[in-house]
A and B are shown apart, each in its own frame.
Chain A
Amino acid sequence: MWRALLTVSALELRTRLRDGTAIVIALIVPVTLATLFGLALGGDDPPLRATIGLVDLDGGEFPASVRREVTAAEELKGSVTLRDLPGDREARRALDAGEIGAAIVFPAGFSARVGAGEGGDVTVLTSAGSPLAGVVASAVVDRISAVVDARTLAVRAALLAGVPGDEVKELVERNGAAGPALTLTGDPLAGGKVDLAVYYGSGMAALFAFFVVGASFRSLLTERKLGTLDRMRAGPLAAWVPVAGKAVVGFGLAMVSVCATWASGTLIFGSTWGEPLAVLTVLTAHVLAAAAITMLVAARVRTDAQADGVIMVISFVAAFLGGSLVPLHSLPGPLQTVALLTPNGWTATALAELAGSGAGVSAVAGPVGVLLAIALGAGGLAVLGFRKGMLL
């Protein structure tokens, strides 16, 4: 049966290469558009000049240390500024208004509780519109957490050893856990240069993945019209072979397309999309979702011309709403929510996270999981549709 599958795939690939659609749609157009968008609109993402709100309800040494370190950090000079805000509500309001990109909230009594070995919680407010600010704020809080953990452990150890409560602070600080020794290095910004060329490049990759993979499922309907599909189905081969043979080629060409767009963006603009394995994982999940959705279209329409129209509409709507044409943070708030109904929205979110933070696969497990769920759901419905439409 594998030989039959390869035979179908070989003919599909040969047809796609011979009629030129594979080269044009998979390579030339997405790479060209991504490059043109990058040249015309590229540059540093506005969040690189983000403002982080600081809500100091504590008044203790920890917030003071944060203010001191952020102001002093060379890595953040000129790009991240702190703005003091009186309370949590004001911080949220400023965040919603786009006046700040993220906020760190120290609750009242935080430093005192940490000093007593009780630990404490710091809240970070983030906005999808300013991923870099969120990354910096989260990194700062991660540092605080490490210091708090060390301090809490030391205090508890001292108390257990019988040191009187009023002497613990002095003892702990004298022996190394001296206050909130917060230091900010370049780490929070590793891989964090989110260039708009990355947004547009990944957007074009996400958009054209639909067209490339959709063309293979469309050809299934062309074969039905031609009668060759019935000839195959009447032959001694499993019903899934024609569909799978074309799906393999569509998936492969779409992967080539997204990777070529990714590579061209990196080479031309010198911008990184993030940790390669993680980016590849996201792109693979996106192509799978696009394949399943276009397969569902092919299963539901009657003719290849209908498939063309429906795939085009779905691709562009998903691209626009999902941040492939306009960066997600530039969309109005309600549309940013709607974006999460599209695979493009999850792909854009995941790639922005990777480009901004330099994180690995685990950081985008959620979006990848959603993309795979879309692939499974749409793929399942497509198989049912194919059976009903006598393609399987």
Chain B
Amino acid sequence: MAAMTAALSCLGLGKRYGDLVAVDDVGLSIAGGQAYGLLGPNGAGKTTTISMLVGLLRPDAGTVLVGGVDLAREPLRAKARIGYVPQEIALYPELTGRENLRFFGRLFGLPRRGLAARIAEVLDLIGLTDRADGKLGAYSGGMKRRVNIGAALLHRPQVLILDEPTVGVDPQSRKAILDGLEHLVADGMALLYTSHYMEEVERVCDRVAIIDHGRIVADGTRRELVSLVGGADTVELVLDGDVGAAFEKLRAVEGVSEAARTGDTSVRLLADGGRYLLPSLITAVEGHATVTATQVVEPDLEATFLHLTGTTLRD
């Protein structure tokens, strides 16, 4: 029943490329006024899933309902309810910001009479009223990102799907974008959000799914997901010496449940009672490397992600 009334839902979504299973039995449901995060490492199936949700890719299995409308049966009605913000700046650099919005507004069937007013509303929403008539090619990365989002809002969609909307954005624009998205959700819009920035997902989304190898391996509120890690802490170590050999030693230390390299000289471990395990960790790398810095972090979404996927989000 929830699927019938959700702003966006999918069930049993699957996609194969030959022998490769890109997406397998993915299901999710997003209500109006809810922000849903989709997290996964590169190649986990996020983009394939989103492509099927917005109608760019035909699924091999499963259904997508947008406000109760079957995307496969009535694609135009369903798509009219979706605002899609692609990862790249999908706009025309030779046009102004306003001209870009006008083009997509006309394309998406906005009535001619109300188009200028709606464009003005969207420009106000994304904070670009003063710069609307400059060439997009001359905009900063953050301004382009905001127009990229604005173009998806013109036709007043019920659900906004954003694929990495803040990549390459300065902190000020990122804050403006996240503030704007929270405002939209507060007004009742459903949001599906993917990002490499865990803190963004933690801030914007009230529900998160973690996808790995094409399957959703966990789905819940932030609190529910973090509880999956139990009492494990995240331990960050900076090493000097043979980091590769030291990493292998650290993985083998009793109590370390997951380990990932996060840089040339840094590793991240998930360990029960992490702070008490530090002496063992330092001893383990002796002869290969020395520990030059340590940090122990309480369980968070990042730790859950590492626990479930065995990798960090930016791998």
List chain A positions with a Cβ less than 8 A from chain B.
Answer: 3-4, 7-8, 11, 15, 18, 226-228, 230-238, 390
B307 within 8 A of partner (CB): no
Check A228 against B90 for contact (C-beta < 8 Å): yes
B65 within 8 A of partner (CB): no
Given A231-B151, A390-B57: A237 in contact with B107 (beta carbons within 8 A) = yes
CB-defined interface of B48-82 with A at 8 Å, one 1/0 digit per residue?
Answer: 00000011110000000000000000001101101
Given A7-B103, A390-B56, A390-B57: A238 in contact with B86 (beta carbons within 8 A) = no
Chain A residues closer than 8 Å to B57, beta-carbon distance: 390
Chain B residues closer than 8 Å to A238, beta-carbon distance: 76
Chain B residues closer than 8 Å to A18, beta-carbon distance: 94
B177 within 8 A of partner (CB): no
Check A227 against B86 for contact (C-beta < 8 Å): yes
Check A235 against B107 for contact (C-beta < 8 Å): yes
Chain B residues closer than 8 Å to A236, beta-carbon distance: 76-77, 79-80, 108-109, 155
Which A residue's beta carbon lies closest to that of B51? A230
**How many residues of chain B are within 8 Å of chain A by beta carbon?**
27
Given A4-B109, A236-B80, A237-B109: A230 in contact with B104 (beta carbons within 8 A) = no
A235 and B151 alpha carbons, distance in the complex (Å): 11
Check B84 against A234 for contact (C-beta < 8 Å): yes
Which A residue's beta carbon lies closest to that of B151? A231
Check B104 against A231 for contact (C-beta < 8 Å): yes
User: Is the contact region of chain A dominated by helix, strand, or loop, or is it mixed?
Assistant: helix
Check B92 against A228 for contact (C-beta < 8 Å): yes
Check A233 against B55 for contact (C-beta < 8 Å): yes
A92 and B94 alpha carbons, distance in the complex (Å): 63
B298 within 8 A of partner (CB): no
B205 within 8 A of partner (CB): no
CB-defined interface of B153-192 with A at 8 Å, one 1/0 digit per residue?
Answer: 0010000000000000000000000000000000000000
B89 within 8 A of partner (CB): yes
Check B79 against A234 for contact (C-beta < 8 Å): yes
A187 and B56 alpha carbons, distance in the complex (Å): 62
Check B86 against A235 for contact (C-beta < 8 Å): no
B106 within 8 A of partner (CB): yes
A236 and B106 alpha carbons, distance in the complex (Å): 11
Given A227-B89, A228-B90, A228-B91: A234 in contact with B82 (beta carbons within 8 A) = yes
Least Cβ distance of B307 to chain A in Å? 34
A235 and B107 alpha carbons, distance in the complex (Å): 8
Check A7 against B55 for contact (C-beta < 8 Å): no
A15 and B106 alpha carbons, distance in the complex (Å): 17
Among A3, A11, A235, A237, residue most surrounded by chain B Cβ atoms (within 10 Å): A235
Check B79 against A232 for contact (C-beta < 8 Å): no
Chain A residues closer than 8 Å to B79, beta-carbon distance: 234-236
Which A residue's beta carbon lies closest to that of B80? A236
Chain A residues closer than 8 Å to B86, beta-carbon distance: 227, 230-231, 234
Least Cβ distance of A154 to chain B in Å? 72
Least Cβ distance of A222 to chain B in Å? 10
A232 and B104 alpha carbons, distance in the complex (Å): 8
Least Cβ distance of A229 to chain B in Å? 8
A152 and B218 alpha carbons, distance in the complex (Å): 96
Chain A residues closer than 8 Å to B152, beta-carbon distance: 231
Which A residue's beta carbon lies closest to that of B110? A3
Least Cβ distance of A65 to chain B in Å? 71
A233 and B107 alpha carbons, distance in the complex (Å): 11
A227 and B147 alpha carbons, distance in the complex (Å): 14
Which A residue's beta carbon lies closest to that of B154? A235
Check A233 against B92 for contact (C-beta < 8 Å): no
Across the A-B interface, the 3 shortest Cβ-Cβ residue pairs = A227-B90, A236-B80, A234-B84
Which A residue's beta carbon lies closest to that of B103? A11
- Candidates A7, A226, A233; contact of B106 at CB < 8 Å: A7
CB-defined interface of B88-114 with A at 8 Å, one 1/0 digit per residue?
Answer: 111110100000000110111100000
Q: Can you list 27 A-B pairs with a CB-CB distance of less than 8 A?
A: A3-B106, A4-B107, A4-B108, A7-B103, A15-B94, A18-B94, A226-B92, A227-B88, A227-B89, A228-B90, A228-B91, A230-B56, A230-B84, A230-B90, A231-B86, A231-B90, A231-B151, A233-B55, A234-B82, A235-B108, A236-B77, A236-B79, A236-B80, A236-B155, A237-B76, A237-B109, A238-B76
Chain A residues closer than 8 Å to B89, beta-carbon distance: 227
Chain B residues closer than 8 Å to A234, beta-carbon distance: 54-56, 79, 82, 84, 86
A11 and B94 alpha carbons, distance in the complex (Å): 11
CB-defined interface of B19-60 with A at 8 Å, one 1/0 digit per residue?
Answer: 000000000000000000000000000000000001111000
Which B residue's beta carbon lies closest to that of A8? B107
A15 and B100 alpha carbons, distance in the complex (Å): 13
CB-defined interface of B107-141 with A at 8 Å, one 1/0 digit per residue?
Answer: 11100000000000000000000000000000000
A343 and B86 alpha carbons, distance in the complex (Å): 41
Chain A residues closer than 8 Å to B92, beta-carbon distance: 11, 226, 228
A226 and B107 alpha carbons, distance in the complex (Å): 17
Q: Beyond A227-B87, A228-B91, A234-B56: 16 further Cβ-contacts under 8 Å?
A: A4-B106, A11-B103, A18-B94, A226-B91, A227-B89, A228-B90, A228-B92, A231-B84, A231-B104, A231-B152, A233-B55, A234-B84, A234-B86, A236-B77, A236-B79, A390-B56
Chain A residues closer than 8 Å to B87, beta-carbon distance: 227
Check A235 against B103 for contact (C-beta < 8 Å): no
